[in-house]
Structure 1
Amino acid sequence: MPMSSRGRDLHPGHHHFGPCSPLTQFWPGPEPQSVKGLYYRRARKVSTLDASPEANLKEILVNVGGQRYLLPWSTLDAFPLSRLSRLRLCRSYEEITQLCDDYDENSQEFFFDRNPSAFGVIVSFLAAGKLVLLREMCALSFREELSYWGIEEANLERCCLRKLLKKLEEAAELRREEAAQRQQQRQACHSEVQASRWARSMNQLREMVEDPQSGLPGKVFACLSVLFVATTAVSLCVSTMPDFRAEEDKGECARKCYYIFVVETICVAWFSLEFCLRFVQAPNKCQFFRGPLNVIDILAISPYYVSLAVSDESPEAGERPSGSSYLEKVGLVLRVLRALRILYVMRLARHSLGLQTLGLTVRRCAREFGLLLLFLGVAVTLFSPLVYVAENESGRVLEFTSIPASYWWAIISMTTVGYGDMVPRSVPGQMVALSSILSGILIMAFPATSIFHTFSHSYLELKREQEQVQARLRRLQNNNSASERELLSDVDDLAPEDLTSPGRYM
C-alpha cells in the first residue's frame, strides 16, 4: 500500500480505502502471513519533506496531481497492459509524452494530471491486491480513472463491483431518458421550423392534453378529466345499489335509472373526446396504441359501445335504455366488460405524481415481485399438505377437505390476512399455522426494503423532471415576454416623432 516514508507499517487487514472493506467472516479463507515491509517495498509514497529521490532502472517515479510515488518495476509485472507498465516499453520522449502529461529526464519523473486520491487507491491495489471504491468520489468517475490507468473493473471487490454496476445501470437509464427527451425536442423544433398553422395547433393541443402546468387550458382540461373520472366511479357504485338492481331484475327502468344512464353517456362521451384528442396530437400513432394508459382507455370505453350496440339489436317498445338492463342479453361476458369501467380510475395517473411513481416502481421492481411470488408459491406448496395432514389426522374438523382447498388457507395466513373461514383446531395444525405466519412475515419483509428504496428514488426522479419542465416553461414565458417588450420598443423607435409627440394635437 502507499505509505509515507515517515509512517509506520500497517497490517493488510487494517486497510480502509473505500466505503466497504473485505470481511473475512463473509468470505472465510486462510489469512495471509504478514511480512514486515513487504508493501513498502512494492510501492511507497514519497513525502515532500524527504529528499528528492531519483528513479533507477528498477524503479519508476510517478507524480500524480502533486503526489509522488516510487514503485519498483516488478510491481507492475502482473499488469502488463496498464499505463505505467507501457511506459517501460517507451524508447523516446515522444512515446513517453503520449502516455503521460510530462516527463523530467533529469530525475526520470513522470507527471500525470489526474486525480491523486484515485491513483492512491490504484497504487494500494498494485501493492496490496485490494481494489475498492472511494467514498468521496463518484463511482462513474472512478471507473474512468481505472480505464485511464488500464486497470480492469473486475479487480474490484464484489461489494464495490455491485455498487458500480448499479450506478452504470442508472446512468444508462438516464441516458435513454435524455435521448428520448432530445428526440422529442428535435421533433418539436422540427414542427416549429415548419411554421404551419397545423403544427402550431398540434403543439398547443399537445400542451393542453399532456401538460397541466402549461397554462390555463391545460389546468382546466385536467380538472375536467378528474371530475369525470370521479363522476363515473360514483355512478358505477350507485348503479349496483339494491333499489336499482331490483328494477333491472324486473326488466323495468325508473327515472333514477335513466338518469344514471344519461350520466354514464356524458362521461363516456367526454372520455371518447379526450381519447380522440390525444390520438390526433400524438406524433407516432403506433406508439400511441402501445401506451399503457391508452390501452386502459380503450378497455374502459369499449364496453359501453359494445353494450349499446347489443341493446339496439332488439329494443323493446316503450322501454327506456338503462345503464345495465340490456347486458342480460349477452350474459356474463358483457357484465364483466361493464365492470371494466372502474378502470377509469387509472386515468388519474396522468395527473397524479404518486400514481406515476407507483407504476414506475412496479415496472422497475418486476424482478423483486417475481421473487416474492416465487417464495410465496413455494411456501404455500409446503404448508398446505402439512395442515391438511395435521387436521385430517385429528378427525374432528372437515374444513380442510383437500390439499388444493388448503391453498386458500395458506395464502391468507402467510399474507397475515386471516379471514377466519378456515381455522386449524388441532395442536399440530396450530403449530403449522404458526410456522406459516412467521414464514409469511419474513418472506414479505425480504423485498420490502428494495421496493421502498426504488419507490423513493423514482419519486424524487419524477419530481425533479417535473420541476425541470416547469422551469423550462417559465424560461420560455420570460423569453417570450422579453421578445414582446423588445418588439414594442422597436416599434416605438420606428414611429415618426411628429406622430408620437402629444404637442401636435394640443
Structure 2
Amino acid sequence: MAVGIASPGVAGVNTVEALVKEAVSHDLPKKRILPQSATAKKIIINISGHNFVSTVGTLLKYPESRLGKLVQKEPSRANYFFESDAEIFREVLNFYISDELHCPKNVCYSNFLLHLEFWEIDTEAVSNCCFQDMSEEKELDRQFEYFNKKLKPKIKNADGDYPKSYYVWCFLTDPFGKDTKFKAGAKVYALCYFLLTIISGLTMAIYSVPSLWSETGGLTRNDSAQLFSLDMSCEEYLAQWIKGAPKSATNFGYVTFIFAAEIWLRFLTCPNKKQFWKTIHGVDMIISIIEFVCFALTAPVVMIILTDLDRYPESDQLCVSSMVASVIRIAIGQARYFRLFSYAYVYSGLKILLITLYRSWKEILLLVVLLAMSVLIFGPLVYFSILNTVGQGLPLNSIPSAYWFVLVTMTTVGYGDMYPTTVPGYLATVVVMIMGLTITALPIAIVGGNFAVVYEHNKKRERAESDRKQRDKLSP
C-alpha cells in the first residue's frame, strides 16, 4: 500500500490550517464538535482509482488513525492517493461516519485485518456481528500455523550461520523446509522411513499367523491361544516364543534398534530440547524408551536362562515376565504409527483431520459422557424388562451383558449376539434405539460442521498461498 499527496492551493488555507491545529492541539474527546470552518473542509481520497469524499471533521473523529494523523500533519492538503482495496476502504470510511466497522462479506478476514493495521484502526472497533467470525478466523490461522511451526536455534554461530546439528535436524524431520540442505536426499530418506514404519507395523500381523510359527506348521489357530499364558514354563516359552517364532518377528528387534538410533539422533540434533517433548517426536522417544526397557527385561532371560535351563530350574516366573515384556515391546511398537502424523505439513488432508479433532474434543467428550450415562440408565431397564427369560440360555442374562447390548444398539452397530425375546424387551429396545440416534447425531453434526469450516479455511489459505507465489514469480 502506498500513499501520495497533492496540494490543491485552496484560498484561505492558512485560516483552516490554524483552526485544525488548534482543534487537535488539546486532549480532545474522540467525538468533539469542531468549528464549522474546520470541519467543512472537503478531503478527496483516491483508492486505486476510486474517489471517496470526506471532511476534516469526519477524519479527526479518530485522530490516532492513519487518516487522522495525515489531516493533523498537513491540514492544507485536500487530495490523497492510496494503493489499497476500495471495497475495504468503503467500510473504513463508513466507520469514520457511523462509528460502526464491518467486514465485507466477500473479503477474507485475514486480509481485512491487514488493511485495518495499515489504516491504524484497532481491531476492537469491529462490530460484534463480524468480530466473532474474525476471532474464529484468527483461531483457525493459529491452529494451522501450529502445524507449520518449525523448531529453530535461538542463536547463530559467529559467522551468522546455524549450527551443523540444525541442518541434520532439518534433514531428518523437514525434507521440504527452506533450511534443509540436500532436499532430494531428505525426501528419499523420508519416504524410506515412511515405508519402514508401515512394514514394521505389518510385522505384528505376520507375527499372529499361527502357520508361520514353526517349520512344520504344527500350530493351529486353536493352539495359538496357548502362546500367551501366565502359567507358561521356561521350556514352553523357549519352544513357543523363541524357537517357534518366524524370522519376520525376529527381525522386528533389529528394526526397533534402527528406530531407536534415529529418534536419539533427532533428539541430539533438535535445536530446542524442551519443545521436542511437546511434538510428535516426544511420542517417538517415549515409545523407544519403553521398547528399550522391555528389551532389557527380555535379553537376560533369552541369553542366560534359556541357554542353560538345568542351571536355573526355578526361573519360570522370569520367563513369564520376559514373555509379557516381549508382547508389550511388539504391541507398543504399533504406536509408532503416530509418527506419520508429523507428515501433516505435507498432506493437507491429514492436517484438516487433526485440526477438526482438536476443535471438536469437547463434542467428542460430550458424546462419550452421554453414551456412558445412557448405558448406565437403560442397561438395567432392558435387563428387568426380560427378567422372566433369565436362565433360559439367552446371552442377555445379566446387567453387565445388558450394558453391552445397550451400547451396541445405541451406536447402531447391532452385532446380533444379544437380543430381547419379550414384548417389554422389544419396547425397551425401541426406546434405546431412538435415544441412541438422538444422542449420537447431535455431537457428530457439530464435528461435521467443524470439518466443513476447517476445510473451507484450508482452501482459502491454499488459494492465498498460490496467489502469493504467482505474484512472486511475476515480480521483477
Using the size of structure 2 for normalisation, the TM-score is: 0.62
Counterpart Cα distance in 1 of 2:294 and 2:259: 11
Match of 1:413 in 2: 409
Match of 2:157 in 1: 190
1:185 Cα deviation from its structure 2 partner: 7.8
1:84 aligned to which of 39, 52, 60: 60
Aligned residues: 382
1:446-461 equivalence runs, <5 A: 446-454=446-454, 457=457
Counterpart Cα distance in 2 of 1:418 and 1:395: 21
Whether 1:242 aligns to 2:210 is yes
2:131 aligned to which of 145, 148, 161: 161
Counterpart Cα distance in 2 of 1:352 and 1:116: 37
Q: Secondary structure at the match of 2:245?
A: helix
1:288 aligned to which of 276, 280, 286: 276
RMSD: 4.8
Q: Secondary structure at the match of 2:53?
A: strand
The answer to whether the 8 A contact 2:109-2:134 is kept is yes
Distance 1:61 1:215, change over 3 A: closer
1:423 aligned to which of 402, 405, 419: 419
2:173 aligned to which of 190, 203, 210: 210
> Aligned partner of 2:103: which letter?
L
The answer to whether the 8 A contact 1:231-1:267 is kept is no
1:444 Cα deviation from its structure 2 partner: 1.6
Whether 1:308 aligns to 2:298 is yes
Match of 2:432 in 1: 433
> Aligned partner of 1:441: which letter?
A
Match of 1:341 in 2: 333
Distance 1:390 1:155, change over 3 A: same
1:358 aligned to which of 342, 345, 350: 350
1:460-475 equivalence runs, <5 A: none
The answer to whether the 8 A contact 1:384-1:407 is kept is yes
Whether 1:264 aligns to 2:287 is no
1:448 Cα deviation from its structure 2 partner: 1.4
Q: Secondary structure at the match of 2:60?
A: helix
The answer to whether the 8 A contact 1:130-1:157 is kept is no
Q: Secondary structure at the match of 1:345?
A: helix
Counterpart Cα distance in 1 of 2:463 and 2:327: 39
Q: Secondary structure at the match of 1:135?
A: coil
The answer to whether the 8 A contact 2:102-2:127 is kept is yes
Distance 1:326 1:441, change over 3 A: farther
Post-superposition CA distance 1:268-300 (Å, at most 9, x none): 222222223223322233433443234234325
Distance 1:438 1:149, change over 3 A: same
1:115-126 equivalence runs, <5 A: 117-121=87-91, 124=94
1:308 Cα deviation from its structure 2 partner: 2.5
Whether 1:134 aligns to 2:104 is yes
Q: Secondary structure at the match of 1:389?
A: helix
> Aligned partner of 2:301: which letter?
S
Counterpart Cα distance in 1 of 2:462 and 2:135: 22
> Aligned partner of 2:45: which letter?
V
Distance 1:173 1:298, change over 3 A: closer
Counterpart Cα distance in 2 of 1:353 and 1:360: 10
Counterpart Cα distance in 1 of 2:287 and 2:308: 31
1:264 Cα deviation from its structure 2 partner: 1.9
Counterpart Cα distance in 2 of 1:459 and 1:124: 30
Counterpart Cα distance in 2 of 1:349 and 1:141: 30
Gaps of 5+ in 1: 1-54, 77-82, 88-94, 320-324, 473-506
Distance 1:224 1:258, change over 3 A: same
1:232 Cα deviation from its structure 2 partner: 2.7
Whether 1:228 aligns to 2:196 is yes
Counterpart Cα distance in 2 of 1:177 and 1:228: 23
Match of 1:329 in 2: 321
Counterpart Cα distance in 1 of 2:436 and 2:116: 49
Q: Secondary structure at the match of 2:413?
A: coil
Counterpart Cα distance in 2 of 1:63 and 1:464: 32
1:384 Cα deviation from its structure 2 partner: 4.5
1:101 Cα deviation from its structure 2 partner: 6.8
> Aligned partner of 1:389: which letter?
L
> Aligned partner of 1:308: which letter?
T
Match of 1:63 in 2: 44
Distance 1:110 1:364, change over 3 A: same
Distance 1:153 1:261, change over 3 A: closer
Counterpart Cα distance in 2 of 1:459 and 1:216: 28
1:340 Cα deviation from its structure 2 partner: 0.9
The answer to whether the 8 A contact 1:361-1:451 is kept is yes
Q: Secondary structure at the match of 2:417?
A: coil
Match of 2:363 in 1: 371
Counterpart Cα distance in 1 of 2:184 and 2:93: 61
1:170 Cα deviation from its structure 2 partner: 4.4
Counterpart Cα distance in 1 of 2:175 and 2:37: 71
Counterpart Cα distance in 2 of 1:141 and 1:451: 23
Q: Secondary structure at the match of 1:392?
A: helix
Post-superposition CA distance 1:462-499 (Å, at most 9, x none): 99999x99xx9xxxxxxxxxxxxxxxxxxxxxxxxxxx
